[in-house]
Chain A
């Protein structure tokens, strides 16, 4: 998995409970040990990353292990901040009575499904654009598969939506210009000066910028984490298909919790025989991708010492 060290942005995804956070954290630690400046970004509302490192991850970047930086994005909080910003902007421009009334519209927009996702993506985009140069590697520990796939497709959806709006706005403004011409109004307004159009286009530009970085196969990659069991394999196969359809580069599959070979006893032997079926299936189905095998450990991965072990195993 050494080739992953050359990437600049890595996403870790997989079915709930397969060990995404463990793998992402171990990878971050390994990269940081290899001398990379790494930012580990947790987007998990369950705060598992904080639990693994045994140190709270914050909204601001902080050192979570010697030489390794970490940050946590709380989608609900980001949505809240975005909405508060919109409110204060209105409060600045209008009277108090207006601001109070406008709050209804804002709260309505805030309660729409998908708002937190957009806010989460917005913050991730911020990091991808603004912190890209400060680090060698950004690692995103994402939420379970379905959620993440939607998240990666979101910029396309939102950006084309905003694109349609700004085209319509432009048509509207040029019509307005025509009317002014007919009426021989001396100072017609330049469409480029329109604050609404400008805001929409700025927003779209930013989304497109993030999207472009996500689609850069040479430095952005998606790592799928799977365990040798039926349902996680099926879900991962689907995820690979969707990621490829969306033109996202899948750059590795981490197979977590593989039973060690040197176990004694009838019980373990029969478990291993059963597992072998899935191991073979994984080898067959994901033959196109680099595979990393992480054995089941005798203790939970918790705290820096055990994480260190996993990261050594990863870089074998």
Chain B
């Protein structure tokens, strides 16, 4: 392996290490925020009153779609959550 190549690879490695650590943090934050958002949208599922419950039926189909893509991406053929019954 040539010196240049080694330097390049090492640089990529260090870059990748820090960037992926950063990306992981962002993803963690995203997951937390998303959970909170879903909870606020469907509070009636956990037995809490939701003043806008009926209006949120408007966005429910989009959630189903988003959720379906998500669980497929995660390698699950079937929906793991009963109230998100896409398949």
Contact = CB atoms under 8 A, between A and B. Distances in A.
Interface stretch (A40-48, A169-177, A216-224, A234-242): A169-177
Nearest to B58: A199
Given A82-B54, A110-B54, A175-B33, A200 B59 contact: yes
A86 interface: yes
A292 to B, nearest CB: 36
Interface stretch (B4-12, B24-32, B69-77): B24-32
Contacts of B63: 196
Contact of B64 (A93, A114, A118): A93
Contacts of B51: 114, 118, 154, 157-158, 161
A106 B57 contact: yes
Interface residues of B, number: 39
Interface residues of A, number: 47
A183 B58 contact: no
Interface stretch (A24-32, A96-104, A273-281): A96-104
A71 B42 CA distance: 34
Contacts of A106: 57, 60
B17 interface: no
A105 to B, nearest CB: 5
A113 B50 CA distance: 9
A231 interface: no
A79 to B, nearest CB: 7
Contacts of A172: 30, 33-34, 37
Contacts of B22: 182
Given A89-B61, A199-B58, A175 B85 contact: no
B30 A86 contact: no
Interface string A101-132: 11011101110111100110000000000000
A158 B52 contact: yes
A199 B52 CA distance: 13
A94 interface: yes
A164 interface: yes
A262 B60 CA distance: 65
Contacts of A33: none
A110 B59 CA distance: 15
A98 to B, nearest CB: 5
Given A165-B56, A196-B66, 20 more contacts: A79-B54, A86-B58, A95-B87, A104-B83, A105-B45, A106-B57, A114-B49, A118-B51, A118-B53, A119-B54, A158-B52, A161-B50, A162-B52, A162-B55, A165-B52, A172-B30, A172-B34, A179-B23, A195-B62, A203-B58
Interface of A: 79, 82-83, 86, 89-90, 93-95, 97-98, 101-102, 104-106, 108-110, 112-115, 118-119, 154, 157-158, 161-162, 164-165, 168-169, 171-172, 175-176, 178-179, 182-183, 195-196, 199-200, 203
